[in-house]
Amino acid sequence: MTDLREAGMSSKAWPFDEARKVLKRYEASKKKGAAKDYVLFETGYGPSGLPHIGTFGEVLRTTMIRRAFEVISDVPTRLICFSDDMDGMRKVPTNVPNQEMLKENAQKPLTSVPDPFGEFESFGHHNNAMLRRFLDTFGFEYEFYSATEFYKSGQFDEVLKRAVDKYDEVMKVMLKSLREERAATYSIFLPIHPETGRVLYVPMKEVNKNDYTITFDDEDGREWTLPVTGGHVKLQWKPDFGARWAALGVDFEMYGKDHSTNTPIYDRICEILGGKKPEHFSYELFLDANGQKISKSSGNGLSIDEWLTYASTESLSYFMYQKPKTAKRMHFDVIPRAMDEYHQQLRAYPTQDAAKQVANPVFHIHGKDVPASDMVVPFTMLLNLASVAGAEEKAHLWKFLQRYAPEATPESHPQTDAAVGYALRYYNDFVKPEKTFRAPSDAERAAMEDLKAAFGSADVALDMIAKKNAAMGNDEPLPEADFTDGDFLQSIVFAVGKNHGFENLRDWFKALYEVLLGQSQGPRFGSFAALYGVDETIALLDKGLNGELS
């Protein structure tokens, strides 16, 4: 632990960068006698639509910083996931049923809108449950806070009263950020109409510091006076951000780049209301296949459930760890690479010293209990094996895997077994529909005929390699012929390409992929042949040469 702590204090990994800022903040508060006996991390969720993958990423990344903090400090930590479920439903999500019913309940707090799915007390309760189910799937340790309960239970009352006392100051901060037309009717307080239950965006006639009430006219011109406490009134979302930091004593919160310009507003309101502004971290947004921002209401981009249909939870965590300040396209084609890179890092972890371990993404995914990888072959190789084998069942792929790695079984290699299932689903849904085979050119045909001959004879294979070595002025001894060894098979493929004058060997490998696999990119061909089987690869070459694939 000492080695990890020392490594964490100097690590350039972004979770440690942020954790050190939080520690510095805590120590400064402690010197002033104002520190709590724990550090509070918070993440916010707007449940206006079904939870999406960006929401998960926010909690995951906050957890990574929390975990890094726990490496460099013994101060206890808490993580609150706060749902803004008292917000009025201003826009009806297009990806849920009962659209007309939802339209009839527009502007009501989400926890007052009936659940369009008919499963929960309200739409807000439904979306909160979906969020918690997603978070629980990944084993997050968190406390769930509902804005509705926070307002109605009185936990927010003291800060709301302070907002009345400091109304002019908070309004001054807000009015600077508003256009003239909006500023004319703006108030930090949003009353909940006592009759309609709708969240009202109306100007205040009076904000009374004597009894902590507000007076306003509703849309029909009727005057009302309500207490700001007890859930009768909520704050506009920007003041709510800063007020929540003050009420809870939040030490750290991250949010998307679209919030970053509001950070000075959140901070100043927090300070006016008696709090200390937290450390914060602004991350870049996730994009869909068309480069558009992922949106809860439109439901574009990948969902968590969709990712978990085709890949492991850990691969998603790995994707989320990478470059949080860079916008990332979040679509199905990022999944195979995430799967393979995650396992590459798992295999590297045991060989690394403490400094490299705390910089390894798998440390931030798993903490100190990093598992070993049992993947027999890369995920992308499984996809190509599924393609040429025409596999529909896991047992079919396992026959090839066990010939390649006889010691492996579904029971002894659960990660591999899960990956086989993911690969079959991914191949059938995304790879198979896009396959386009072609016939080889005359030059490619001649090279493939030689490759087939070399794969069928050790003498021919070694002659091919010797010819390539002589042409390259290479006098190294010939390798031992082993047709179960991917490296030996790769040396044959390489030699054939060189002997047939492919100046750029990428063109040779691309030809193999397009003729035999129906795609322009593929696996290390020698390793693939070792996995699929040399006899089977020769038969595949025959089919490609005879036009049976195209």
Is the pLDDT reported for residue 430 higher than 60? yes
Mean pLDDT of all residues in 229-247? 97
Q: Which pLDDT band, with edges at 50, 70 and 90, does 294 fall under? A: low
Is the pLDDT reported for residue 51 higher than 70? no
Q: Of 526, 435, 547, 428, which Cα lies nearest the Cα of 479?
A: 526
What does the pLDDT read at residue 135? 83
Mind listing the pLDDT tens digit for each residue in 336-358? 999 999 999 999 999 999 999 99
Q: Of 313, 287, 312, 315, which Cα lies nearest the Cα of 301?
A: 287
Q: Dihedral through CA 493, CA 498, CA 501, CA 505, nearest 10?
A: 70
Mind listing the pLDDT tens digit for each residue in 307-325? 899 999 999 999 999 999 9
Mind listing the pLDDT tens digit for each residue in 112-136? 999 999 999 999 999 999 888 878 8
Mean pLDDT of all residues in 76-90? 95
Q: Which pLDDT band, with edges at 50, 70 and 90, does 202 fall under? A: very high
What does the pLDDT read at residue 67? 96
Is the pLDDT reported for residue 495 higher than 90? yes
Structure-block tokens of residue 332: 């199905």
Residue 187's CB is within 10 A of a number of other CB atoms, namely: 22
What does the pLDDT read at residue 1? 62
Q: Which pLDDT band, with edges at 50, 70 and 90, does 34 fall under? A: confident
Is the pTM higher than 0.85?
Answer: yes
In the chain, the percentage of residues whose pLDDT exceeds 90 is: 83
Mean pLDDT of all residues in 283-305? 69
Residue reference for tokens 């060997």: 505
In sequence order, the β-bridge partners of residue 88 are: 109
Mind listing the pLDDT tens digit for each residue in 385-394? 998 988 889 9
What does the pLDDT read at residue 306? 87
Q: Of 381, 303, 319, which Cα lies nearest the Cα of 137?
A: 303
Is the pLDDT reported for residue 274 higher than 70? yes
What does the pLDDT read at residue 526? 95
Mind listing the pLDDT tens digit for each residue in 355-407? 999 999 999 999 989 999 999 999 999 999 998 988 889 999 999 999 999 99
Is the pLDDT reported for residue 298 higher than 60? no
Is the pLDDT reported for residue 305 higher than 90? no
Q: Of 485, 480, 468, which Cα lies nearest the Cα of 526?
A: 485
Average pLDDT of the chain to the nearest whole number: 93
What does the pLDDT read at residue 289? 67
Is the pLDDT reported for residue 46 higher than 90? no
Which DSSP category does 517 fall into? Answer: I
Mean pLDDT of all residues in 287-302? 64
Q: Which pLDDT band, with edges at 50, 70 and 90, does 93 fall under? A: confident
Is the pLDDT reported for residue 300 higher than 70? no
Q: Which pLDDT band, with edges at 50, 70 and 90, does 47 fall under? A: confident
Name the more confident of 414 and 388.
Answer: 414
What does the pLDDT read at residue 301? 64
Q: Which pLDDT band, with edges at 50, 70 and 90, does 2 fall under? A: confident
Structure-block tokens of residue 38: 């724990």
What does the pLDDT read at residue 550? 82
What CA–CA distance (Å, rounded) separates 179 from 188? 15
- Residue 82 zone, left/alpha/beta (φ > 0; ψ -120 to 50; rest): beta
In sequence order, the β-bridge partners of residue 25 are: none
What does the pLDDT read at residue 49? 65
Which DSSP category does 513 fall into? Answer: I
Residue 410's Cβ-side half-sphere holds a number of Cα atoms within 13 Å equal to 11
What does the pLDDT read at residue 327? 85
What does the pLDDT read at residue 24? 97
In the chain, the percentage of residues whose pLDDT exceeds 70 is: 97
Whether the Cβ atoms of residue 214 and residue 223 lie closer than 8 Å to each other: no
Mean pLDDT of all residues in 210-227? 97
Mean pLDDT of all residues in 205-233? 97
Structure-block tokens of residue 381: 């190789």
